[in-house]
Amino acid sequence: MVPPAEEDVAELRRAWTAAGRQAAYSTAVAVQVAFGRLREGRGGLTAPDSFDVTRRQLVAGRPGSWEASRLFELQLWANRDKVRRYDAATADDIAAVLVRWVSNPDRYTEVAETLAGLFGDFADEHGGWPAVADQWLQRGALDRDGVLLAYGLLYATGEEFDPAMLG
């Protein structure tokens, strides 16, 4: 495992900046998009093992960690049909980075913890969680699953992370 390439970090930061308050949901959708692309590369729905192989590929490096578990749950929760909640170009750019991280046999970058750390740093530099997440992912929001998964993973390393938000 290797740290992310500087150009990948720069690309993620550009994408998150462009998304503004849609950055968190766009990132969740990006994980789902990346999973779909990786799965298609393994035969998609016609290959009986494509789901398990893709899941292992996406969480390799720390497969039993809470971050890996939450990353996988995050992509199951994300809904690409909620087009008003995310920036499609941002999601596509982030997904491309994630696919790169896990597709190169000579350069594997662990996704869950790395993505969470980078997102948390970005959020802190841009006003914290309220500046990078829409109203449905804020304190007291009705989407408890979304708050648990998105805030709980993407902002877990944030300076103002509040475990009470997780319920």
**What are the residues whose beta carbons fall under 8 Å from the beta carbon of 121, sequence distance 6 or more?**
157
**For the segment 112-137, what is each residue's pLDDT rounded down to a tens digit?**
999 999 999 999 999 999 999 999 99
Question: 34: pLDDT confidence band, cut at 50, 70 and 90?
Answer: very high
Look at residue 64 in the predicted model and tell me its pLDDT.
86
Task: Tell me the pLDDT tens digit for each residue of 36-45.
Answer: 999 999 999 9
The pLDDT of residue 83 is above 90:
no
Q: Which of 9-23, 55-69, 84-98, 100-114 has the lowest mean pLDDT?
A: 55-69
Contacts of 147 (CB under 8 A, 6+ apart): 137, 138, 139, 141, 165, 166, 167
Residue 143 inside a domain? The answer is: yes
The total domain count for the chain is 1
pLDDT bracket for residue 80 (50, 70, 90): confident
**Which domain covers residue 147, as residue numbers?**
6-159
Read off the tokens for 140.
């007291």
Residue 88 lies in a domain: yes
pLDDT at 124: 98
For the chain, give the mean pLDDT.
Answer: 95
Residues with Cβ within 8 Å of residue 12, at least 6 apart in sequence: 93, 94, 97, 118, 119, 122
Whether residue 167 is contained in a domain is answered as no
Residue 166 lies in a domain: no
Helix then strand then coil, % of the chain, to nearest 5: 70, 0, 30
Q: Does a structural domain hold residue 108?
A: yes
